[in-house]
Amino acid sequence: MRELAGKTAFVTGAASGIGLALSRVLAQAGMKVMLADIEVQALAVAVESLREFAPNVRSVVCDVSDAASVERAAQAAYAAFGKVHVVCNNAGVAGGGGSLESWRWVLDVNLMGVLHGIHTFLPHIQAHGEGGHIVNTASMAGLQSNLGFNSYATSKYAVVAMSEGLAKQLAASNIGVTVLCPGYVRTEIGNSGRNRPQRYGPSPALDPASPGGKLVAEIARQLQSGLDPAEVAAQTLAAIRANELYVFTHPEMRDEVEERFAAIVAALDKAQAR
């Protein structure tokens, strides 16, 4: 979608981090923007920060893990602005430990939250026929397994696959798909437990001396020195306009991805030799 001015965007996880940065660049491009987030006070502050230069912004409280909540948020967007054209399924959480409840929380937000956004908005975009674009936030963790066995990487692998499949399905239409795969970005995702709903139980405490605790500490350190969310948003905006499937914000992580691909190719070569 090259022409964005006057159209409407819906962004989840919009109260901070990449979501707020996406909301800002879309508003600066002349779009009307509905910011959706589970964090009520931060959402109100975010909207006020954008209204300084973008009067056509609104907010709605939304729990992306709940399909009904996403549908209600969509209805609020339609009521405020009419048609929605760009949907950024950006809300995400990290960590949570290895319990089944923690896995369900991460998968419900990171994976099902994306699916809920697609399921809710895609028929609407197809129906109005004015074109559109869907942005799904994954991660470089969705392309390589250096973080090990955990719910976060699992969810992001699935988002990459979902986006690639959706792009093929919509290739002949005027609806584009982008999967955003950032590395370390200065966000609050390391503190995701603050928004964990009670139905998933309390956030587990990690022993700082344990392997899991050390990994979390290292990730938190990397996040603090990570890329500015504004740069991530700028690259994503360019991808929307150019209808590009992949956004990779950290090319220095190429070696990690190539290591995985090389192992896959080697295994295929071995199978062929048999």
The residues carrying an active-site annotation are: 152
Q: How buried is 231 (Cβ within 10 angstroms: 0-12 exposed, 13-18 middle, 19+ buried)?
A: middle
End-to-end CA distance of the chain: 48
Distance set, CA 57 to CA 159, 193, 216 (Å): 27, 27, 35
DSSP assigned state of 130? S
**How large is the C-alpha radius of gyration of the chain?**
19
Please count the CA atoms within 13 angstroms of the CA of 192 that sit on its side-chain side: 21
* Residues 11 and 33: beta-carbon distance below 8 Å: yes
Strands 57-61 and 8-12: unpaired
Distance set, CA 112 to CA 161, 190, 213 (Å): 13, 20, 27
